[in-house]
Structure 1
Amino acid sequence: MPRIRWKVNMGLLKIFLSLLLVAVVMFASNYLVFENSISGIYRQVSENNKLVVKHVIRSFDQAFKEMNDLIYSIHALPYKSWEVMEDDRINMNDVYLMQKNMTTLVSSMDYLEEVVLFEKGSAFAITSQGTSSLEALFNEQYRHDTYNAEYWKSFAETNRTQKVFPASVFKVRVADRLVQSRNLIVLMGSNQISTYNIMLLIDVDKLLKHVNQTAMMQGTSLMVMDAERNRILSTDPQWDLVEMLNEVYFNPGQEATVKSRDYEYLFYKSDYNDFIYIDKMPVELAGTAPVVAWNRMIMIIGILAAVGLSILLSHYLYRPIRDLVRLLGGKTAEPQADYSRIRSGIEQMQLENASVKIQMETVHSEIRRGVFLHALDEFSHSLEFENRMQHIFADFFRTGQFMMAAIHLRPKESPEAGSEPPAPLRAASLEQTLLAGLREAAGEAGGHCAVFHAGSLQFLALIGLDRPSDREPVIRRMGQMLKQAGSGPLKDVTVMASVSRLYASKIQYCQDAYREVKRGLMYRDLSEASPVTDTQAIRYTWKVYFPLHEIEKLSNHLAGGNVEACLAMIRAILAKNAERHVHHHQLVPVAECMYYHMQQYVEPGKVDRQELIRMQDGFIRSVHHAVDYREIEAALEYAARRFAEWRKPAGDTKLEAEFIAQYINTHYKENLHLDHMAELLGTSPKYFSNYFKKAFGINFVEYLNKVRMAHAKEWLKTTDWSVAEIGEKSGYLNSSTFTSTFKKYNGISPSEYRRKSIS
């Protein structure tokens, strides 16, 4: 028993000494910090600040010297820009040379916003950017309620020396509809040197950056006054030193100091232009002695309290340790083992808590997702359901309005991959990536963003907005984000999205927004390069280009082995639809029709049935998830090349009506005759003629002429080719034969048919 008590006492002593050590360290560190002289630090900082201010003033003087030299240089230019020539026109050559030299002179002065040159009584001005009227320059480009064009015209009439106007906020037009507020100083040069009026517009922010004003001590302010003590510039517009300036006496060193209760004002007078620079610097607070006494008393009380608390806590901390050991799996007589047991038990609890936390977060996320998807259900929800889920609805809608976005991802695959879909991606990581991107796109305009996995690689997003005007910028940044995602986490997928209009933040509008984004994906324009479809910007069209005769030619070209012509026809049909901005759901059946027309000429024995099915599945998947029409074009081109490899050879199609019709539609431009067809099909001309009439109901020549007439009529309506050219392209050896044959079958000549079709 005494041994155990001794160990317990040693444990108490360890706890007491540990607490006391912490208190002693805290007291010693506070005392050392307190003993450092705050006033000495302040004096050192203030001296450094004075050196910085003097450097800033020298930079200001240098800047004003440069601007003064610039004005004298412009006055000295030999060009007579306002001199009227004999035909009452201004000498634009001198104007151009003047503007060019002005641009060269100001190119090294980055703090100059603009330089303006004009003569007294003239409304014409020259700037570094070109020429302009004073009204356009100061009533539109640089707008100010006081300093407008009339003011400067009136001021230019006076004889004066150089004048610096105080900094004022101008409305500067930087683009057609973009206006920015800029703080500018106007320096008006003297007009006693020449007839020129020269104005320098100085950007205050760039000037302060040029003189390195940010190097001054934090909390200080700077004021610049001209020789007449008029304030030109102040980094703190709240303070006014006009009355204090009357009491300032500048010593021979051009410096003076005035102290108030809270601030010290350092006055510097420039040797160059007698400008006055005032540095407003906070001073050390008065009455530091009571503060010192209180700080010492607080430290003494703190160390005494720490010693007392250490004694009390040392008696109570060991008892919970024994209780903890008992709760964590037993008890031991060794104090060191107690601490090890507590540590291992806590680590195990932390691991369990982390696991439970992850599980709860997953469950909560699935509940939110389930509630959101349930809200999209077309069936009405019970009042009890809405009441129970009200707290989740409130988390969805944190702003007054929202818009919904449907984002569909598709793993990137080439058409040759054909077939088998690639390995599935992790929906959770994609959801987090999209959420981070949407939050970045929403920026400050978005109150809240939420992304939900709707199944497969389809996601739905709710984006909260405070103002309707934020919608267009958010959609634009969202499109940029999805485009740039191709080199980031979404590099292995193709992205397309649809964005709804704004809705009030109520759960009943989710169904309307969902239907709208689904319609947006269905009506997306495949000719657009943007991955985002704005449902409000959709321009509906029904001008689908679906030429049946061209599609018939497509399959005929393939059957005849002319793959390149087949590919060119595919590109032409899809490009025509892209020019008409046909919607996705309209172009899909066109592509599928072309696919099935080509597939019908595959020889069954050359390809496995399962391979055909896999190829068809891959084609349908590529077409239905295409972002632009070029993906559909690539899928069709791949299918055409494969079908060309599997097509029926010409020798296997003897006396088949389908092949004969395809061959004639493909080779009608050539000199076709019975002997040629009989030789091609391996039979006699007489047998072929009888078979043709029985299969088609008319003889070979009649059928060939009708095919040629169909193409000729199309060319007469859609081209400006001559009748002779069309006859030649239709397969006739001369224009007279073509004209007589056309009149025989159509009742009128080709020229008359063209006139009637145009009218």
Structure 2
Amino acid sequence: MKRWFYSLGVLQVFGALLIVILVMSASNLVIHRNSISDIYEKMVDHNNLSVKYMIQTFDDHFRAINNLIYTIHSLPYDNLIDNDGSIDMSRVYALQQQVESLMSSHDVVEDVIVFYDNVPVAITSTGTSSLEHLFEQKYRHPHYDAHYWLKFLRSKHDMKVFPAEDFTVLTGSTQEYRTKKLLVVTDSNRMALSNKNVVVLVDVDKLLRQVNRASLIPGSSLVVMDQNRQVLLGTGANWDLVEVINTFKGSVKDETSVTREDYEYHVYQSDFNGFIYIDRVPYQFQNLDSVTKANRSIILTSIASAILLSLLLSVYLHRPVRSILRLLGGGNSKGNDFRKIYSGIVKLQTENQEFRNQQQFLENELRRVVFLRAIEEAPYSEELWRELEKFKQDFLPHRYFVMGALLLERSSPVREMLPAETQSAILQRELRNARPDAIVVHVRGLRFLTLFPVREPGERPKLLRQVREAVSAMEQGVLDGWRIRGCVGKLRNAEFEQFPEAYEEVRESMYNRPVNVEEAVLDAAEPADQRGMHLPLDQLEKLSNCLLGGKMEEAGAIIRDIMRRNAGNHVGLRQMEHVARTLFYHMFRLAEASGMDGEALADLERRIHRTLEKDGDFDLTEEMLVEAAACIGAKVRVAKPDKLNPAFISQYIELHYMEDLYLDHMAEVFNTTPKYFSSYFKKTFGVTFVDYLSKVRLAHARELLRNTTLTVAEVGERVGYLNASTFATTFKKYYGISPSDFRKQELGA
């Protein structure tokens, strides 16, 4: 009986081991087939959406460049030649300032070049030069030299984007040459809007960083071609584009696809400029076949080995069979053998959980991409409609919805910076305590959008109160050390077509939000109380003089006064950004003219931009400007010019035009003789020093006559004329009209 029982126990152990083997093999097979395949399919779908988002980003940048060219053509100054045939440097300076201001809002633009057919001066964002100097010294290329551009731009041509090429670029104050890949965009002269010729140089590396290539499947790439199928640039390694186009049999049209060897090729065409985009995606994961075969071999080997081992181990493992069963059910085990089995099972469970987490991540990322496309694209494509329908129950479960926006700011030092996904999850979790169906979507940086489905029209006031209470609780709880600013938009019908308008509403509300408002969450339906920006010219001039004179405390006080007066005027974030940028670039030009190190200037500029665009913090922006003033002021004081510098000369005149600037004084400042300085000035600027100084003074006088109530004598004294008669005579000489008549004419207009 005992022997029979013993034999039965051995059979039970053997049978249990076989069951375990079958369960583990089946689990591995299911994980292999479902997880890897599903992940690949999800990644392909996500890749397609990411490509379309990249194409939209390319279109946005090309549209912005087109608008930049059009805006430059719309500027005045179609003629830079005075009646006496000389170049009017005041117009050149004014045009250069406006080109510099326009270019500052385009991150991917390397430089903008404006020139006229009859003027030997090329105007850029950093100053003036000749076209020959620009393309033979600053932007070198073996083929695209100054002769080529003059010949091309003077011929009849349409707007053209040249393929990305490596240029040797002269950069920095150290005058070092570096290789940069640039796109050259030229305007059209078939229907010329002005006498200007405009050339825009685009930094390809910056452009590619803007399109977020990290979201693509590893091994995929995107090629951009113009309407004539000329390759402009690509995001990956080179591939045989000619063979691919031949594979399409000449029919390279929008939304067409083809499979060739190990890749799929998808063609898209831009609705904006007709450019063609070809996306190459790996047909399957690299080494997927080898991984599959290896996994199958492992499974088969494991089964065979386990059966053999079961025959040997079942003799003495029948006693701990209950322990094994308890282990599979979650019990504890003893002995090295069982500890290894337990570790294998735990590892299998962990890998399975990782696969599920990855699938969930891809699902959330797909939902986010669909949402971001829905708020920016209208009308929607058929593919986007299909994706929106999949998430309709998540986004629009009720008859109405309200969209909002949230911005996080550090109000005090925090222990650690949380990832955007974690912050988004925290915001959504806390908001759902008040609104169970709230949705939070991360946009970029510390900016988030919220979506609140609403059942009845009268719920919006209650919703606004609930959001404010939830935000206040987060600032005092889970997000202690952070300040949350936001807004809540209008109530809208539950239709996806309402998304772009709702997004524009909350976006404008956040940009126009007064910087000193105490309420955390504003009602976007209520207009903001804004009284205009405070940016007086005399304060800017005083700031420059303080920096040159080393009066750092007074310069900081001027900056704080301007910023806080704007805050007192309920100026919005967008207007405050303009004020901060104007203050910074006013100091920036002074630093450039003094020969300050280019890397230090670039670092200051990056920090200011990062503070304005990412953080949006008014107090931090103010302190950054004061810090920049101290840094620039310290450098300017020690940067005494030891030789003549056109940029420093023009900057010095601009800052001191109201003083008694005679030739002897200027020669002393620049360590030369009056005769040599006069000759150098006439040769460099094309006019005499007296004429140039008069035009600068009179330009400021016109602004004072137009915008202030000062008397004519006071205006003349303000711009440097101690004698009112001399001021009136000089004004009439240059403008053909007396100051009094000019003011009457302007006020009458």
TM-score normalised by structure 2 residue count: 0.45
Between 1 and 2, higher relative CO (CA 8 Å, sep ≥ 6) is seen in 2
Which one has a bigger Cα radius of gyration? 1
